[in-house]
Structure 1
Amino acid sequence: MRKLLLAWNLFIYGLLFSCTPKDASEIFDRVEKYMETCPDSALLLLNQISQPEKLQGKECADYALLLTQARDKNYLDSLQSDSLIKLAVDYYQDSDDKVRGGKALFYYGKVTALQGDYEKAMQAYLDAQERLEGAKEYKLQAWIQEYVGRINDDQERYDMALDNYQKSIFYNKKADNTLGIIYAYRNIAWIYAVRQNMDSVNRYVEAGFSLLNGDSTSSVFPSLMHIKGVAESSNGNYLNAVSYFLVAIRCEKVVDSIPYYYMSLGDAYMKLSLFDKAEECFKYILSSNDIFVLSGAYNYFYLLEKKKVEYGKSLYYKEMSDSLLQIAQNEAIRNKVLKVQKKNEIEKQQKEKDILQQDNLIQLLGGIVLLFFLFLLGLFFCKKMVKRNERDYRESLQEFAKRSREIISANEQLISQYICQVEELKQKEVSVVEASKEQIVKLEQEIRILMEKNRGNLENSYADGLNVLRQLKEGVLIVENMTAIERREFLGYVDFLFDNFVTRLCTEYRLKESNLLLAAFIKLGFSSEELVILFDSELEAVRKRKQRLKNKLGLDNKVNLDVFLAYYPRKMSC
């Protein structure tokens, strides 16, 4: 049997160290497989992760949960840290994974209970139960009820504890967990033992033994034997009680439980007047590091010496017991004070954090308001700049047209004067004509020169506009690609052709450049198909443009836009 066990252990360890996956998630999958059957192997696998502090997100939470669980199953309670399991609790708090979230809360409750913070532990257990509601994790729900019952038991809320243990039995039956049911029976038996209801004690103990089927290697077997011994001792059957206590001590594997068994055994020996054996039991307890256990041991020494009528020793042991009990109580008080101080410090840090967050929020809101104000200010100046540019453009267009008209008007006046002079000279007598022929020739030359200047001026003024119109007609240029200069030259040319057509539209109807361009194209006789090409759009879009222009001009639906623009501006009759 030992060779078979050794071979199995070598196989497990060889498997662990031969297969070392680099991916942490692969290790976690294997750890979960070994957790129930080989918790020591699960712990070894977790220790293979060389740099756990570099894990992030879900991997970090899974590592914290599995390491806490592995330490718990290997009875390494001294290594447990609430900050470690809190990583898993915080991660799964908002997660949809109810099972891992509930399990993290359960182990957080166990760790805080080990630290003596039963209030926090109770809250964690209740949160875990709520998180697992509707899930079919019956075994885990049974554990939660058991540990809630333990807290109620320690606080002497026995009825509530009994209810929790009954619920634990209910969930263990659903999970088909016989061992969990036996533990619940044992816990219920202890409560009835405290209440001195020995019939109920025996009933639940026997129910536990019947489920064990004589398996003395089970972890719950020693504690059942101990309770059975306590029941026998209460009924005065001390010899039977001694036999039960001895079996419990022999089968118990948890070292911390053995001193309590020796106390019960020593008490039974003392009641049988076997003082030497009782003293040996109490001496064994003195090796414990638990102050409460030592206080109990010295109290039994006090009772033993009192039965021996050794009052001096009895008084000494009584003082020792009371002194140790006082130390334990002071330690408990000190722990409570430290707990309160720690809680106040945490609350203080939380308040400071809240104040800092509030200040940051105020600064953020102030920044948002300032940015919004700057945005509105920029938008205001942009609109103002656009209006100013439009006004400057209209003024420059009007100034350009006015200057051209003034030049042409001046030249036309000179031409009229010269024509009048020519006519006057022609009407003179022939002799005068002959005399004035040379002067007439000069005047005609001057007329031709001025006309050439006018034509050149017109060509120079509107050559670029004419060129733009030619490109638009040929489809070489579209409106979207026209520069600001090309648009101005084109509109100036149309203004010249049609008696200030553009200037009057701009002044009378305050049209924008896009509408002025459309009106100019219609005035020049561009068809709808040509406008589609010019605006690089669909026919429907051109129709919508015409409708908007019609609305800007305030025309009735019955008025044809093309006809209106063809006759605009109308000449006023004298």
Structure 2
Amino acid sequence: MKRPNLILYLLLLSFWACSPDKHLETIFRQADSLLAERPDSALYLLETLADTCNLSASESAYYALLLARATDKCEKSLLPCDSLLDLALDYYDSDQKERAITLLYKGRLEIEMEQSERAIGFLLEGLDIIRNYPEEIETKRHLLSSLGNEYYNARLYEKAKNTFDELYRCCYTDKDKAIALYNLGHYYSIIGENDSAIFCQRKALEYGVMQKDSAMVDLFTGKLSAVYSAQEQYDSALYYAKQSLLWHSQKEKPSVHYNNIGHIFYLKDNLDSAAYYMNKSLEDSSRLSLKEKASILLNLGCIKEEQENYLECTDLLFQFIEIVDSVYRTNQSTKIEQLVHQYDIKEKLSRAQQKNESVLKNIVAAFIFGGLILVLFFQYRINKQNKLKIVIEQNLRQARERYKNLEHSIAESQRIISLLQKKQVDFSQENERYKLEIKEREAIIEKLTFEKENLRIWLFKQSAIYKKILRLSTQEVNCKKELLVLGNSDQKKLKEVVWELFADFISDMKIHYSLLTEEDLLYLCLEKAELSNQTIALCFGNTDTHIIAQRKYRIKERMNRDYR
């Protein structure tokens, strides 16, 4: 419906605002008919109606469903629908399909406000109701899709997989199957089953190509590119990134796609191609989100730094800082909205508590009783953990004493070897016996040194900073940019622990290789502690192992110069 015709239609409706219910039903049917193809027109109609009509309970409930559907289809915030959805929940019975639809949009509203626990509760309740209505397959698919995504966000991956398996069984069109397979592929990529992830993503891509749906093919090829990039199969990642670019809508400039291609070239160390595509993505920066633009500017700054173009690098980094400040201010505004919504929820709970004082007294009594039980239980757990902590501290003290004894034994053995070597000159007749004893002592030293190294690594692994490093190394994210790294304070703690445990190793390296910096020595100690390049990168506050490769090269050069 064209906008002038729609306005004329609304003017006619304004004359019927206080007319019998059949006119209101006509308005609702008109809005319902517009939802499929013109949801923006339906939303405009419903928002105007909300300001001119006084609705009954049943009309308010139905109006809430129509408004929520139109708002969701227009990809707008569901916050204005919150109070209306609450009215609908109060009106519809627990076995009505309309309640399940209301719960779907209530759950999505809570997802928008990052209230994941409440959202999952609403979606599960809606799913229980809608299973009694086999004909409502569309609503069931939407509930399963939203619930599966929330399970992903909560890292309940097995539940997410089961949900999307059920979603796949509900699909009867190739398009729906493609979406379900895409989500299953995302699950397998998260748990590290890359072959299964690629299989599902390729199957989803086949369905998308058969449907000739450019938006779906664009999405699926982009995801395949990301999966291959995560596996460091950059040629395959580049192929699918370019395929995504080919399927991209010609109505919009493919800024994000150019950025993805540039990032892959950057990972391949092809800096010129990376800079070319990243600059192309910035040609129409209005198509990029602030975070995407900031990421591109940061990557370009790194490229210019590696190319030793420090003037352009500084300019790019200044632009990056300006965007980060803007994002921070936007996030602060969003947090205020969330706090307001949380305050509204508390107000509703308070009113409900006033209506049910007798019930709440029993609940409070039960809660207090349960709280006492929990306090006793946690006190028991705390005491048990304290005892365990004491045992661990005793073991650590014994290990440190053993470590000192080993150092003393090694030093004593070295002293004895020195004496034996001196005597060897004076007493040639005992040369063979001394040689044998020297070999035995050297074998003892080698064994003690090996034991010392193992104990040194064990002591390092018992430290709190190592356990934090271990948690960082086991992160599961979609993109390297989302990895958490070790902060400055934790890096200082790590340095203190390493300097204490590897003091002799560090001293020896300083004697032989005076050009090595403290950062070089820290890297050598972490490598000696059997940490992977990725984990060492996180310890230095980086997510890219390319930085570690550069450091190894510089260390090798400095050692060679010292040797010469």
* TM-score, L = length of structure 2: 0.51
Which amino acid is 1:132 matched to?
A: I
SS of 1:55's equivalent? coil
CA contact (8 A) 1:192 1:198 kept: yes
Measure the CA separation in 2 of the matches of 1:87 and 1:102.
Answer: 14
Percent identical among aligned pairs is 17
Measure the CA separation in 2 of the matches of 1:298 and 1:356.
Answer: 56
Measure the CA separation in 1 of the matches of 2:313 and 2:277.
Answer: 15
Please list, as runs of the form range in 1=range in 2, the aligned pairs for 1:89-108 lying within 5 A after superposition.
Answer: 89-92=89-92, 94=93, 96=95, 98-108=96-106
Distance 1:294 1:88, change over 3 A: farther
Measure the CA separation in 1 of the matches of 2:114 and 2:29.
Answer: 33
Q: Say yes or no: does 1:56 pair with 2:56.
A: yes
Q: Which residue does the alignment assign to 1:400?
A: none
Please list, as runs of the form range in 1=range in 2, the aligned pairs for 1:93-492 lying within 5 A after superposition.
Answer: 94=93, 96=95, 98-136=96-134, 137-172=136-171, 176-194=172-190, 197-231=193-227, 233=229, 234-237=232-235, 239-250=238-249, 260-270=256-266, 271=268, 272=270, 273-284=272-283, 286-287=285-286, 290-310=289-309, 314=313, 339=338, 343=342, 346-347=345-346, 350-351=349-350, 354-355=353-354
Which amino acid is 1:250 matched to?
A: S
Distance 1:10 1:214, change over 3 A: farther
Measure the CA separation in 1 of the matches of 2:4 and 2:173.
Answer: 28
CA contact (8 A) 1:265 1:281 kept: no
CA contact (8 A) 1:71 1:79 kept: no
Q: CA deviation at 1:57?
A: 1.0
Which has more radius of gyration?
1
Measure the CA separation in 2 of the matches of 1:295 and 1:143.
Answer: 33
1:245-298 per-position Cα deviation (integer Å, ceiling 9, x unaligned): 312433687x9xx66434312213434441442232452575367443344233
1:122-155 per-position Cα deviation (integer Å, ceiling 9, x unaligned): 2221121122231112221111111112122233
CA contact (8 A) 1:248 1:261 kept: no
Q: Which residue does the alignment assign to 1:31?
A: 31
CA contact (8 A) 1:282 1:301 kept: no
CA contact (8 A) 1:24 1:49 kept: no
CA contact (8 A) 2:225 2:241 kept: yes
Q: Which residue does the alignment assign to 2:542?
A: none
Q: CA deviation at 1:190?
A: 3.0
Which stretches in structure 1 are left out of the alignment for 5+ residues?
Answer: 1-7, 360-574
Distance 1:321 1:240, change over 3 A: same
1:506-563 per-position Cα deviation (integer Å, ceiling 9, x unaligned): xxxxxxxxxxxxxxxxxxxxxxxxxxxxxxxxxxxxxxxxxxxxxxxxxxxxxxxxxx
Measure the CA separation in 2 of the matches of 1:352 and 1:210.
Answer: 53
Name the Cα RMSD after superposition.
4.2
Which amino acid is 1:26 matched to?
A: T
Distance 1:195 1:357, change over 3 A: closer
Range with bigger deviation, 293-302 or 16-25: 16-25
Q: CA deviation at 1:215?
A: 3.5
Q: Which residue does the alignment assign to 1:87?
A: 87
Measure the CA separation in 2 of the matches of 1:309 and 1:156.
Answer: 42
1:364-418 per-position Cα deviation (integer Å, ceiling 9, x unaligned): xxxxxxxxxxxxxxxxxxxxxxxxxxxxxxxxxxxxxxxxxxxxxxxxxxxxxxx
1:293-345 per-position Cα deviation (integer Å, ceiling 9, x unaligned): 34423332244334434456557756875886687578768866875686467
Which amino acid is 1:261 matched to?
A: H
Distance 1:135 1:202, change over 3 A: same
CA contact (8 A) 2:285 2:293 kept: yes
* TM-score, L = length of structure 1: 0.50
Measure the CA separation in 2 of the matches of 1:187 and 1:130.
Answer: 22
Which amino acid is 2:300 matched to?
A: F
Q: Which residue does the alignment assign to 1:66?
A: 66
Measure the CA separation in 1 of the matches of 2:328 and 2:3.
Answer: 48
Q: Which residue does the alignment assign to 2:469?
A: none
